[in-house]
């Protein structure tokens, strides 16, 4: 199956439709009157659809088992056609589109099976996805806002040329993937004044996002949080909590994270871990949803 452990858990919704067409009005009348020999067509088919949604991963090899939290089936009769509509919801890391379409397919097949003794002309058609929410595509409106960023690597060893930077390059790649232009990428010593000087420089340039990596551990030389937290206009605890919560689900060591998030002037300031794994998980935890902050900024300035 496809790797999804890096994704955030969100509310996922999908709606699928399908059409069952019969060949005569008598079949529609029998459905409405519940006089089909095999039983109540709508209720039996609905029950089959509910089972199908929950069993999708047993039938489709690449589908992940999902904690399905809601399924609804409805019908609409239009002439000799019955339109099936099925909605699925789950709070998980991957979407429920296939579950919705699988459910509709089984509802339609159940109707076909129940109606075939009284109508040899039943047809199934137009099984399709109508809508989906909760996935990466929902966040496109937050990307490509024309934002610019500076990536600052805080490390004595890297600045001295004794070690190669990996974390800063990961941040740069992630930001560019979300349509954020990285205007600067620098390496500085992990010193309080160097950290603050860089902050003041990029705030003065009105850089939208200023991301530090490194200097957030617990050793005596890791001073980036101390350098930043007292000079920010305000902290954003929710971002810090999201980073730690996401990391904690993947490694117990995340409880030691001292990531910092806040605002200085018109800039979002982030101080992330120095390890490549830690910084990648931190970026996955908050992007692209954190870019909504700039929609808020624009709204506040507009008002």
| Phi, psi at 207, each rounded to 5° | -70, 130
> By percentage, how much of the chain surpasses pLDDT 70?
97
By annotation, the residues acting in catalysis are: 113
134, 151, 171 - which closes a domain = 134
pLDDT(274) > 50: yes
| pLDDT confidence tier of residue 220, bands split at 50, 70 and 90 | low
For residue 2, is it within any domain?
no
| pLDDT confidence tier of residue 173, bands split at 50, 70 and 90 | very high
On whether both 105 and 203 belong to a single domain, the answer is no
Q: Mean pLDDT for the chain?
A: 92
On whether both 92 and 227 belong to a single domain, the answer is no
On whether both 105 and 204 belong to a single domain, the answer is no
For residue 5, is it within any domain?
no
The pLDDT assigned to 46 comes to 98
Is residue 214 within 8 A of residue 274, CB to CB? The reply is: yes
The pLDDT assigned to 302 comes to 42
Question: What are the pLDDT digits (tens) for 129-158?
Answer: 999 998 777 777 777 789 999 999 998 889
On whether both 98 and 48 belong to a single domain, the answer is yes
For residue 165, is it within any domain?
yes
114, 134, 154 - which closes a domain = 134
| Phi, psi at 46, each rounded to 5° | -60, -45
| pLDDT confidence tier of residue 285, bands split at 50, 70 and 90 | very high
For residue 228, is it within any domain?
yes
Q: Which of 39-53, 114-128, 133-147, 182-196 has the lowest mean pLDDT?
A: 133-147
On whether both 150 and 112 belong to a single domain, the answer is no
Question: What are the pLDDT digits (tens) for 41-50?
Answer: 999 999 999 9
pLDDT(241) > 80: yes
pLDDT(235) > 50: yes
On whether both 294 and 158 belong to a single domain, the answer is yes
For residue 286, is it within any domain?
yes
On whether both 156 and 267 belong to a single domain, the answer is yes
Sign of torsion, CA 215 218 223 228? positive
For residue 297, is it within any domain?
yes
102, 134, 166 - which closes a domain = 134
Sign of torsion, CA 43 45 50 51? positive
74 bridge partner residues: 85
Pairing assessment for the beta strands 234-235 and 260-264 based on DSSP bridges: antiparallel
Of residues 290, 148, 273, the one with CA closest to residue 209: 148
On whether both 196 and 106 belong to a single domain, the answer is no
d(CA 69, CA 14): 12
On whether both 72 and 149 belong to a single domain, the answer is no
pLDDT(272) > 90: yes
Q: Which domain holds residue 166?
A: 139-302
For residue 185, is it within any domain?
yes
Give 222 or 76, the one with higher predicted confidence. Answer: 76
Q: How many domains are contained in the chain?
A: 2
For residue 3, is it within any domain?
no
On whether both 153 and 298 belong to a single domain, the answer is yes
d(CA 130, CA 104): 12
Q: What is the CATH number of the domain that holds 24?
A: 3.30.70.640
Q: What is the CATH number of the domain that holds 153?
A: 3.40.980.10
Q: Mean of the pLDDT values across residues 212-234? A: 81
On whether both 42 and 123 belong to a single domain, the answer is yes
DSSP string, 256-270: G---EEEEETTEEEE
On whether both 32 and 110 belong to a single domain, the answer is yes
- H-run or E-run covering 186: strand 181-188
């Amino acid at each position: 199956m496809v790797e999804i452990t890096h994704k955030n858990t969100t509310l996922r919704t999908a709606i699928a439709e399908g059409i069952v067409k019969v060949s005569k009005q008598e079949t529609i009348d029998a459905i409405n009157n519940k006089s089909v020999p095999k039983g109540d067509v709508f209720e039996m088919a609905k029950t089959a659809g509910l089972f199908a949604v929950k069993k999708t991963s047993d039938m489709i090899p690449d589908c992940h088992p999902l904690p399905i939290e809601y399924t609804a089936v409805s019908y609409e009769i239009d002439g000799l056609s019955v339109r099936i509509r099925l909605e699925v919801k789950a709070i998980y890391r991957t979407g429920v589109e296939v579950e919705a379409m699988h459910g509709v397919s089984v509802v339609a097949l159940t109707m076909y099976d129940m109606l075939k003794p009284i109508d040899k002309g039943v047809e199934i058609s137009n099984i399709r996805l109508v809508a989906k929410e909760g996935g990466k595509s929902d966040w496109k409106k937050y990307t490509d806002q024309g934002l610019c960023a500076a990536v600052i690597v805080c490390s004595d060893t890297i600045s001295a040329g004794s070690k190669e930077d990996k974390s800063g390059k990961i941040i740069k790649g992630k930001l560019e993937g979300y349509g954020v232009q990285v205007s600067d990428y620098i390496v500085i010593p992990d010193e309080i004044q160097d950290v603050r000087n860089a902050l003041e420089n990029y705030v003065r340039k009105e850089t939208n996002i200023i991301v530090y990596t490194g200097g957030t551990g617990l050793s005596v030389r890791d001073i980036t949080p101390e350098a930043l937290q007292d000079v920010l206009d305000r902290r954003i605890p929710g971002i810090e909590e999201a980073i730690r919560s996401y990391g904690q689900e993947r490694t117990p060591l995340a409880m030691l994270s001292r990531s910092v998030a806040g605002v200085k002037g018109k800039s979002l300031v982030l101080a992330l871990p120095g390890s490549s794994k830690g910084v990648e998980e931190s970026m996955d935890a908050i992007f692209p949803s954190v870019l909504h902050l700039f929609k808020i900024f624009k709204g506040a300035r507009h008002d």
